[in-house]
Structure 1
């Protein structure tokens, strides 16, 4: 019984091209108390592998977080499978604004301690005791209310390329870093302000909304479906779009453009740019913003040191990487000291 992916990304890409069929990129999440995450994980892998579903899925005792690529012809069967699972019946599916048949090239279903790492060790905190979900129209109304405080629950490299106007964008590397910072900064407004949060698809601000309710904030709201669903509703209902720039996404596309505004800068030359790339040196793989001119000049690398490595024969590059863990710079997402124009 096959319980793990057996094809390389290159092999899978070739199969996708040969099939010539459109695929849908989508995501969903659900907080739910899962008694046996490993058993549930195996069931999901076996079912989705048969449907040629690809993606990155995390399962924990607190629920499931899934980012997927599904063959368009198998979408109905995929949806029927979700609906056959009681707590996933009619779960909201966030369909990507911009589609790419190669957004995911492997099926990875992993059991984690939590589907969103929060750094919390509090048995009294109930992640299902969430704040009020609001749609795009209500969200816009709340943003026009002077008693609203709007908080971006994403990390600095996400909000750097796009965010809602007048949002607080914490300068953090991880979600777990943001919770205590936001609580401390806004503790004086637990009673008198409306705390409104948003993230990419809803999963982080849903946990955050439950956390801040747990911490005594009286009026807590979250944008249902996150930026992805907001964009869809704005277009469908002809609403005022209050998001500027790009929405960062965690697949091969890296971002979806929401407005024509370019609010970020190339980390190497400083010119306006909002294109994230990974350093071409596989031993580095740093995520940073690079314009086309710098990409050509630096051969897709973040530094001259990485350029020197990329210039070596591939086997020599592999030998240099052998036994070495990738630099923690990859997780700094643009804060590396080799970059001149850091956020």
Structure 2
């Protein structure tokens, strides 16, 4: 029985182009007690592979975290399958603001220790005692309150291209790094301030809100559905949009345009720009912000060293990479010293 991808990303891309059919990019998460993550993983892979679902899905004993692309014509069948699973029935689906048929090119369903790498010992606090979920309208009211502290629970490369006005944006590489920093910075305001948090789709705030309540914060709120759902509600209800710039997303799009504000700059020349790319040198693959002019000059690379390697014949590049692995911490490498105008 097939439990793995048989097509490469390039082959899948060609098939998507040939089909010419609309696909929907969707994300969702749910904390639940999954007794056998491996068995559940296999069930999802078999069913979703038949529906031509592509994406990145993490399964753990604590639940599921999914970012995926599904053919629009198969959406109802996909939703019916979700509803057939008790803890996923009527789960909130965050549908991307900007659609791209090639947002994902493979189906990857992986078993992990956790659905978000938070580094926390969940046995030390009750993860079900979460903060108060608020919609876009209530969120807008809260963040205008002088007794509110608004915190971005995402990483530096995410908030760099877009964030809410007046939000605290911790300069961190990982979600876990931000937890202690925020607690320490706000330690004198655990009772008198409203702690309001947001992230991309809500999953990080779900855990963080329970953690901060455990740490003694009395008034904890989280934006339900994150930036994705906020944007949808703002558009539907004609509310004031208090977000600026792009929302970073973890697929081939790398970002959704929320407003016309460009609040970041090219890491190579300093020009106003918020376009994330990966270095074309396969031995680097560094995530950074690059404008069109620098992309042309640098042949889509982050440095002259990478440019020289990228311009070598493929077999020579392959020989140089032999025995070496590309770090999977490509986001942290965005702080590379080769980037003159990095944040």
- For residue 319 of structure 1, report the CA deviation from its aligned partner: 1.4
Alignment-derived partner of residue 135 in structure 2? 135
Alignment-derived partner of residue 213 in structure 2? 213
CA deviations over 1:251-287 (Å, ceiling 9, x no partner): 0000001111111010001111100000010110000
Alignment-derived partner of residue 238 in structure 1? 238
Q: 2:283 and 2:50 mapped to 1: Cα distance? A: 34
Structure-to-structure mapping, 1:184-199, within 5 angstroms:
184-199=184-199
Q: 1:232 and 1:339 mapped to 2: Cα distance? A: 35
Q: 1:61 and 1:261 mapped to 2: Cα distance? A: 40
CA deviations over 1:43-67 (Å, ceiling 9, x no partner): 1111101100000000101110000
Aligned residue for 1:235, secondary structure, equals helix
- For residue 342 of structure 1, report the CA deviation from its aligned partner: 1.4
Q: 2:49 and 2:94 mapped to 1: Cα distance? A: 21
Structure-to-structure mapping, 1:94-133, within 5 angstroms:
94-133=94-133
Structure-to-structure mapping, 1:1-343, within 5 angstroms:
1-327=1-327, 330-343=330-343
Is the 8 Å Cα contact of residues 31 and 127 (structure 1) preserved in structure 2? no
Distance 1:38 1:120, change over 3 A: same
Is the 8 Å Cα contact of residues 118 and 175 (structure 1) preserved in structure 2? yes
- For residue 334 of structure 1, report the CA deviation from its aligned partner: 2.1
Aligned residue for 1:27, secondary structure, equals strand
Q: 1:199 and 1:188 mapped to 2: Cα distance? A: 24
CA deviations over 1:101-125 (Å, ceiling 9, x no partner): 0000000000000001111124132
- For residue 333 of structure 1, report the CA deviation from its aligned partner: 4.5
Q: CA RMSD in A?
A: 1.0
Q: 1:329 and 1:174 mapped to 2: Cα distance? A: 10
Q: 2:209 and 2:322 mapped to 1: Cα distance? A: 43
Q: 1:273 and 1:126 mapped to 2: Cα distance? A: 42
Aligned residue for 1:236, secondary structure, equals helix
CA deviations over 1:219-259 (Å, ceiling 9, x no partner): 11000000000000000000000000100000000000111
Q: 1:339 and 1:250 mapped to 2: Cα distance? A: 22
Q: 2:248 and 2:287 mapped to 1: Cα distance? A: 12
Deviates more, 1:201-210 or 1:118-127: 118-127
Query: How many residues are treated as equivalent by the alignment?
Result: 343
Q: Which runs of 5+ in 2 are unaligned?
A: none
Is the 8 Å Cα contact of residues 161 and 263 (structure 1) preserved in structure 2? yes
TM-score under structure 1 length normalisation: 0.98
Q: 1:184 and 1:301 mapped to 2: Cα distance? A: 38
CA deviations over 1:170-213 (Å, ceiling 9, x no partner): 00000011111111111111111110000000000111111111
Aligned residue for 2:27, secondary structure, equals strand
Is the 8 Å Cα contact of residues 264 and 272 (structure 1) preserved in structure 2? yes
Is the 8 Å Cα contact of residues 157 and 331 (structure 2) preserved in structure 1? no
Aligned residue for 2:247, secondary structure, equals strand
Aligned residue for 1:30, secondary structure, equals strand
Q: 2:34 and 2:128 mapped to 1: Cα distance? A: 13
Aligned residue for 1:104, secondary structure, equals coil
Where in structure 1 do 4 or more consecutive aligned residues deviate above 6 Å? none
- For residue 328 of structure 1, report the CA deviation from its aligned partner: 6.6
CA deviations over 1:17-65 (Å, ceiling 9, x no partner): 1211110001000011111111111111111011000000001011100
Is the 8 Å Cα contact of residues 150 and 166 (structure 2) preserved in structure 1? yes
